Amino acid sequence: MSSGEIFIVVFITAIILVSAALVIAMLISPRSTNEQKGEPYECGIPTRGTSWMQFKIGYYLFAILFLMFDVETVLLFPWAVIMKSLGVMGLCSVLFFLFILVLGLAYAWKKGALEWK
Amino acid sequence: MIETLKDYYSGFAIMNQELTLVLVLIFVLLADLFLGEKGKKNLQFAAIGSFALATISGFTVSFGGSQEAFAGMYVTSDMHVLVKNILNIGTLLVFFFAHYWNKNENRNQSGEFYFLTLSTLLGMYLMVSSGNFILFYIGLETASIPMAALVAFNKKNRDSAEAAAKYILTAAFSSGVMLFGISLIYGSCGSLYFDEVANAFQGLPVQILAMVFFMAGMGFKISLVPFHLWTADTYQGAPTSVTAYLSVMSKGAAAFTFLCILFKAFHNYPEIWQNILWWIIVVTITVGNLFAIRQKNLKRFLAFSSISQAGYIMLGVISGSPLGMTSTVYYIFIYLFTNLAAFGIISNIENQTGKVGMDDYNGLYGTNPKSAFIMTLAMFSLGGIPPFAGFFSKFFIFAAAAEQGQYLLVFIALLNTIISLYYYLLVVKAMFINKSENPIPTIKSDNMSIIGLGICTIGILILGFISPIYEYMTSISFGM
């Protein structure tokens, strides 16, 4: 058989197997429904109201600022490992990188993104 | 280790324009932070002035031949420098037109406007000069994420938010499609450097699939039909200055990059992408034109007009020759002045009266003869009527496609030019012939937009006659 024919056979077999499993389960499985089954899992109290509510935009601002410094540490770790062999030039690069990041923080600070309103 | 780091830094030596732009960016951000509320007026001058200096300094850069840095990641040549200079000129013109808007309506965010616009410009620089799909992708995202923020700039306006949502969703989707294509390219070619991809490209089905995905992603960015659906809504909802920027700079940079990548990475099997592009061009020009006829809002109208113009730009790409590259860049250069002139008038009138409908422009000649005159020039040039620059750019781009034997395509494009004349003249008719009960009152333009409109008018009127520009482009262009 060529690869195309094998592909077709495998494809059809897969469809038959999956649909057979679903149909058999639908036919022979025992079924019981009650109210508690429809609720979310396990812990906590039942939710009230709709979950489509608006969150305060401040959370996103803080998350973005956090992300900025999170990424910074990720980039600083590898530099710290080979700091000695990189020498002064490596230090300057990292300082410039930090300068750009601090600029971002200064911007957010000055524009009042850090105040919780 | 220190040696390698020194080698690494030597790569920055050929990135003059990018470094200048980064300096301007940092300067604008710091100025925005520390000038405070009183310095808002000075901020605009600082931003426009420093960027004008950067634009001028860009003309001093020259390499002679092709140069590369960072192991081929970054490629530049005189052609790349020229394209970046063209983008600079366009951005500067947009700044001129946006000055009034930034002074009044957008007063509190003018610093962000300049900063974000320049960020997208930096992304376009990197995109244009990329020698590798990764740098290309980073440049593309740097250009499109701040662009979404710019589209949403009128915070209080729901249209603006809708436009931004459509823009960012399409951008994300097209990036996903394109990244899938790029990953298939990496899987089948084993490299992401354009020249290595070119060597490993054998026309296998999976490679063709990868190329098609890549082309689809680019089609979204350049808004080619059938990937154009976001264009009209985004152009209409965005602030007019941003629409102007989006329609010229974003499109121009993406079109040139598309051309470079097709020439560099896929040049061994041109007939495959030329066939695809053939159909895309026919559909793009036709659909853009037919939809433009029915538009009543001028920004929407120019959106569809810019879709069909993108189809014309692709005529230069399909030829795959140095002549094609020359005519593409020349077309973008002329298109910049023409389209920005139209957007300059629209943004002027919208800023002062809030009107953008085509019916509002009835009788504009009676009240604002100069604006009507410049708008007419822009429409004639977009339609390609002979003495204006738009005629020459269309002529060269048809010549480039005809040189490669694409006669049928050129014929279809010519037919479409006639259709486009009809709707461009509709605007002219509205301004000169239609009578109106309450025409737009006489407006007084601010100095900055007068300078910008003056530059655009001069560009439309005389650029077509200055042959050294075209000859210089011919001398530095390259083909497949």
pLDDT of residue A40: 67
Number of Cβ within 10 Å of residue B202's Cβ equals 10
Cα→Cα distances A76→A94, B84, B229, B390, Å: 8, 33, 43, 52
Question: CA-based angle B345:B159:B220, to the nearest 5?
Answer: 80
pLDDT of residue B186: 94
B375 close to B129: Cβ distance less than 8 angstroms: no
With cut-offs at 50, 70 and 90, classify the pLDDT of residue A85. Answer: confident
Half-sphere exposure of B221 (CA within 13 A, CB side): 31
The mean pLDDT of B449-457, rounded to a whole number, is 93
Give a yes or no: residue A85 inside a domain: yes
pLDDT of residue B212: 93
Chain A positions in Cβ-Cβ contact with residue B30 (cut-off 8 Å): 103
Q: How far is CA B462 from the centre of its chain?
A: 21
Per mean pLDDT, which range of A12-16, A54-58, B230-234, B255-259 is the poorest? A54-58
Nearest-by-Cβ selection for B5 from A86, A100, A103: A86
The mean pLDDT of A59-77, rounded to a whole number, is 87
Give a yes or no: residue A50 inside a domain: no
pLDDT of residue B280: 94
B125-170 pLDDT, tens digit each: 999 999 999 999 999 999 999 999 999 998 888 999 999 999 999 9
Nearest-by-Cβ selection for A87 from B2, B26, B33: B2
What is the domain range of residue B134?
Answer: 2-476
Domains in chain B, number: 1
Phi, psi of B89 (to 5 degrees): -60, -45
Nearest CA-CA distance, residue A3 and chain B, Å = 15
Nearest CA-CA distance, residue B466 and chain A, Å = 43
pLDDT of residue A1: 67
Give a yes or no: residue A62 inside a domain: yes
Residue B70 has pLDDT above 50, yes or no: yes
Q: Which of B83, B93, B75, B29 is nearest to B58 (CA)?
A: B83
What is the domain range of residue A94?
Answer: 57-110
Tell me: do A21 and A62 sit in the same domain.
Answer: no
Classify B297 as helix, strand or coil.
strand
Structure tokens at A76: 């600083």
Number of Cβ within 10 Å of residue B405's Cβ equals 10
pLDDT of residue B128: 94
B118 contact partners, CB below 8 Å, separation of at least 6: B21, B24, B25, B28, B51, B91
Cα→Cα distances B389→B56, B197, B251, Å: 23, 38, 19
For the ranges A15-19, B103-107, B224-228, B363-367, the maximum mean pLDDT occurs at A15-19
pLDDT of residue A42: 64
Tell me: do A106 and A72 sit in the same domain.
Answer: yes
Structure tokens at B38: 């009183």
Per mean pLDDT, which range of A83-92, B112-121, B157-166 is the poorest? A83-92
DSSP for residue B69: E
Domains in chain A, number: 2
B343-397 pLDDT, tens digit each: 999 999 998 888 888 888 888 898 889 999 999 999 999 999 888 999 999 999 9
The mean pLDDT of B46-68, rounded to a whole number, is 89
pLDDT of residue B3: 57
Chain B positions in Cβ-Cβ contact with residue A86 (cut-off 8 Å): 1-2, 5
pLDDT of residue B143: 93
Note every long-range contact of B153-156, with CB atoms under 8 Å and residues 24 or more positions apart, other chains counting. Answer: B153/B106, B153/B109, B153/B113, B153/B238, B153/B239, B153/B242, B154/B239
CA distance B211 to B267: 12
With cut-offs at 50, 70 and 90, classify the pLDDT of residue B1. Answer: very low
Nearest CA-CA distance, residue A12 and chain B, Å = 23
Nearest CA-CA distance, residue A106 and chain B, Å = 8
pLDDT of residue B333: 95
Give a yes or no: residue A106 inside a domain: yes
Per mean pLDDT, which range of B243-252, B329-338, B353-362 is the poorest? B353-362
**B269: β partners:** none
The rounded mean pLDDT for chain B is 91
Residue B288 has pLDDT above 60, yes or no: yes
The rounded mean pLDDT for chain A is 85
Chain B residues within 8 angstroms (CB to CB) of chain A: 1-2, 5-6, 9, 26, 29-30, 32-33
Nearest-by-Cβ selection for A86 from B1, B30, B32: B1
A-to-B residue pairs, Cβ atoms closer than 8 angstroms: 23
Cα→Cα distances B267→B95, B203, B319, Å: 38, 11, 11
- Rounded to the nearest 10 degrees, the angle between the axes of helix B447-462 and helix B322-353 is 150
B386-437 pLDDT, tens digit each: 889 999 999 999 999 999 889 999 999 999 999 999 999 999 999 999 888 8
Give a yes or no: residue A11 inside a domain: yes
Cβ separation B33–A107 shorter than 8 A: yes
Structure tokens at A4: 């195309």
Phi, psi of B295 (to 5 degrees): -80, 140
Q: Which of B175, B202, B46, B62 is nearest to B114 (CA)?
A: B46
Residue B39 has pLDDT above 80, yes or no: no
Percent of chain B with pLDDT over 70: 99
Nearest-by-Cβ selection for A103 from B2, B9, B26: B26
